[in-house]
Amino acid sequence: MKKDAFISNPINNTRKWLSWCPEAPETKKYRDRYGPATVTTTPPISKPSRGGRPQGVTVISVLSLIGGSIVTVFGLIVTVAVAAMFSRGIGLGKMFGMFAAQFALLGVIVSFGGLFVIVGWGLWKGAAWAWALEVVLVILGLIIGMITIPYLIGLIIMPVCGLILYYLPKPNVKAWFNKTVEV
């Protein structure tokens, strides 16, 4: 019966234990040795937070993923088409140099598409390397936009790259990528 009473009321049992324990915080011996008992609470352990992903970074990363995927697939389709034309032997002597140049250009296009997919994933995850690589790609996009102004595509590329280049150095964006924010 005493066992059940001991288990049923743990608060009273703790008080009883504190009353006879010489090292309990409420005893004179404890206060003389360690000072008054203080109760401290520690905050719950949580992951360090960088804040939420900025909406602009979400938009840029999704557009980078979609655009990179489209460019990669388009480059692969055109590469297969060029390879099919080349295998049929259409003017092999005259066309060999042109086909080689097209393959090289398509290889660059597919590589850039893959690079945009990788950077989009890095932006989504908040990787610092993705931020730096996106800045480089945007500057490269501005240069390509200036070159392609006569074809009117530059009029689309340049404002988009300009907006991204304006947005990426903002303090909340740099904080998402764990970049040091200078004031």
Can you give the pLDDT of all 183 residues of the chain as single tens digits? 455 444 555 555 555 555 555 555 556 666 666 666 555 555 544 434 456 889 999 999 999 999 999 989 988 888 888 777 766 665 555 556 666 777 788 888 889 899 999 999 999 999 999 999 999 999 998 998 899 888 888 888 899 999 999 999 998 898 888 876 555
Task: Please tell me the total count of domains within the chain.
Answer: 2
pTM of the model: 0.62
Give the range of the structural domain holding residue 109, as residue numbers without chain letter. Answer: 55-176
- The answer to whether residues 74 and 145 belong to one domain is yes
- The answer to whether residues 160 and 116 belong to one domain is yes
- The answer to whether residues 101 and 161 belong to one domain is yes
Distance CA 118, CA 143 (A): 21
Residue 1 lies in a domain: no
Closest listed residue to residue 133, CA positions, set 83, 84, 52, 60? 60
- The answer to whether residues 29 and 72 belong to one domain is no
Residue 80 lies in a domain: yes
* Tokens 């006569």, located at residue: 150
Residue 39 lies in a domain: no
Residue 44 lies in a domain: no
Distance CA 71, CA 59 (A): 18
